[in-house]
Amino acid sequence: MALAASGPIKFSEIRDEFSPGSNTSVSISDYYLNGSKVLPKASDNNATHLATGLPTSGALDLSDFRSKAIGYRFTISSDATNQSLATIFGDDFDVNYPKEVVINAGVTVGATATNTYAINVPANANGAITITNNGNIYGKGGSAGNAGGDSIFVGSATTIVNNGNIKSGGGGGGAGGAGGNGVVAANAALNNFVDEGGSPYGSGNNPSSDGPTWFSVYGANGTGGNLNGESVVTDRKWGGVNGNRAQSGAVNVSWGFFTTSSSFRGSLANRGPFYCSFQLGTTGTYTLSSMSLTSTYGSGYGSPTFNISTSNTSPSQGQGGGYKSIGATMNLNANTTYYIVCYLSNAAGKYLYYNNFDFSFSLNVNSLTTGGAGGAGGAGASYNASAGSGSSGASAGGTNAGAGGSGGNGGDLGAAGSNGANGGNGTGTTISFPSSAPTNASSGSSGAAAGRYINGISNVTLTNNGTVAGNTA
């Protein structure tokens, strides 16, 4: 404590203030400012020298010591951030001389990041250190899902007298869980459907290419195929897609490709083969719903054969490629060009005449719908900001998908963040492509812990007349 401001002063009082614990004889000359007992203040020391005004030489009277005290005092009288005692006391931080920091009432000292401190007492201090808090010392709040920051770090022996508030940054709220994927039944769009074998037409109104280059069942590179049966059955000519290529002389357009919102099919009365390409608007598992041959008028045609490929020069390539039988499923990707060849395994030299060769490909598909994303957690409270609220989870990304869970609220100063809410489960028919669905929702994340109101508590002698909140370490 400072010496009395008025009245008589004893030499023993001066000795006890500036040489505490000493009962040895001392000389008044030892107590000049900047002498052996009243140390000088370094040029980079921002604190007030409590003995300022003492003579440095010449006459020295006991009355000169009125209101004087040992040590350096730094007073924080307005809001401040990231205060390091090593910076405050400069070169005197490691000098064996008392140092005091006083935070005035109504003043807040805060940390601006979770990896910094409102008050930092590094480990290399020397001399008694006292922090008197009459205001507020607050840490930085954690962002969503992250722990709050510390208020005070103490690496050297320090006395803290808390008459106000010391609170760590609040923990960030946990993220909400993602909603589970669902499954919905849909009719896939049939895009870019091309009659590869029946159009464009060659000479004499005959289809120019009945098969792809790899096809050799009826002849090399598609030669020998016959969609029209010219001079054989004049009324069974190829009709193109939905009758758009009816040829001169055709009695009807019953033979060709026919598309609807739920399927496409092919029908012909000669050797074929069917040869087309297309794209689908939806990724999913598709079904070859039917494939048949009526052979009332003849035999030796063989069995219907179906091949799908991503290549027109090689069979059975790519996603979903292969030879398929009736009822077979195919995992097909949207916006990928597929080639279908459907033919009889043994039709060389044989016309179907009045028999029919048909197939049907279903566009009914169970499609994946995406669950909503979980909401973000709120930020924890900081020295300059209240705790943030968690965001709402996103709505489901389609029918039968689950909505995302809400994020948890950030914690108040010195408090952990709230947990995020779980997302909603997906529903619908089970599928395995493009991924397994429906799926259960993700759980919300746990709220993060509050920071430490004192980090380095073993170095602290704490007198708490106010409020503390948070953890210690």
Q: Chunk the chain into consecutive blocks of 10 residues (it has 473) and report each block's average pLDDT, rounded to whole numbers.
A: 81 83 74 90 97 90 87 98 98 97 98 98 97 98 98 98 98 98 96 85 63 78 63 70 71 82 91 92 95 87 92 90 91 96 84 87 95 97 97 90 97 98 97 96 98 98 98 97
Would you say residue 178 lies in a domain? no
Q: Rounded to an integer, what distance in angstroms lies between the CA atom of residue 151 and that of residue 460?
A: 14
* Beta-strand runs (E) in 236-363: 256-259, 263-268, 274-280, 284-293, 304-309, 322-324, 329-332, 338-344, 357-362
Would you say residue 6 lies in a domain? no
If asked whether residues 285 and 372 sit together in one domain, one would say no
If asked whether residues 126 and 193 sit together in one domain, one would say no
Q: Rounded to an integer, what distance in angstroms lies between the CA atom of residue 294 and that of residue 239?
A: 20
Does residue 55 have a cis peptide bond before it, meaning omega lies within 30 degrees of 0? no
Number of domains the chain contains: 3
- Asked if 163 and 463 count as a contact pair (C-beta separation under 8 A), the reply is no
pLDDT score recorded for residue 336: 96
Would you say residue 378 lies in a domain? yes
Would you say residue 177 lies in a domain? no
If asked whether residues 106 and 158 sit together in one domain, one would say yes
DSSP code of 88? H
* Residue with token string 């930020």: 379
Give CA torsion, residues 160, 163, 169, 171, to 10 deg: 110
| Exposure letters 61-94 (e unless 16+ CB within 10 A, then b) | eeebbbebbbbbbbebeeeebbbebbebbbebbe
If asked whether residues 156 and 214 sit together in one domain, one would say no
Q: Which residue, 83, 74, 71, 86, is CA-closest to 156?
A: 86
pLDDT score recorded for residue 364: 96
* Beta-strand runs (E) in 7-110: 48-49, 72-76, 80-81, 83-84, 99-103, 108-110
If asked whether residues 355 and 206 sit together in one domain, one would say yes
pLDDT score recorded for residue 12: 82
Assign residue 334 a region (left: φ > 0; alpha: ψ between -120 and 50; beta: otherwise).
beta
If asked whether residues 268 and 337 sit together in one domain, one would say yes
Does residue 207 have a cis peptide bond before it, meaning omega lies within 30 degrees of 0? no
If asked whether residues 83 and 206 sit together in one domain, one would say no
pLDDT score recorded for residue 359: 95
Tokens of 88: 């405050």
If asked whether residues 35 and 83 sit together in one domain, one would say yes
Would you say residue 180 lies in a domain? no
pLDDT score recorded for residue 351: 79
Write the single-letter amino acid at 107: V
Q: Rounded to an integer, what distance in angstroms lies between the CA atom of residue 312 and that of residue 309?
A: 7
Residues 6+ apart with CB under 8 A from 461: 157, 158, 159, 160
Q: At which of 342, 362, 382 does a domain end?
A: 362
If asked whether residues 229 and 368 sit together in one domain, one would say no
> How buried is residue 219: exposed, middle or buried, by Cβ count under 10 Å (0-12/13-18/19+)?
middle
Q: Rounded to an integer, what distance in angstroms lies between the CA atom of residue 38 and that of residue 51?
A: 7
Q: Rounded to an integer, what distance in angstroms lies between the CA atom of residue 72 and that of residue 129?
A: 10
Is residue 53 within a helix (H) or strand (E), and if so which, with residue range?
Answer: none
pLDDT score recorded for residue 10: 85
- Asked if 430 and 438 count as a contact pair (C-beta separation under 8 A), the reply is yes
Would you say residue 65 lies in a domain? yes
If asked whether residues 352 and 237 sit together in one domain, one would say yes
Q: Which residue, 151, 156, 166, is CA-closest to 99?
A: 156
If asked whether residues 159 and 44 sit together in one domain, one would say yes
Q: At which of 319, 335, 362 does a domain end?
A: 362
pLDDT score recorded for residue 249: 60
pLDDT score recorded for residue 198: 80
Domain range for residue 51? 11-171+453-472
* 3-state DSSP assignment of residue 129: strand
pLDDT score recorded for residue 30: 85
Write the single-letter amino acid at 230: E
Handedness of CA 295, 298, 302, 307 (dihedral sign): negative
Would you say residue 165 lies in a domain? yes
Would you say residue 115 lies in a domain? yes
If asked whether residues 393 and 326 sit together in one domain, one would say no
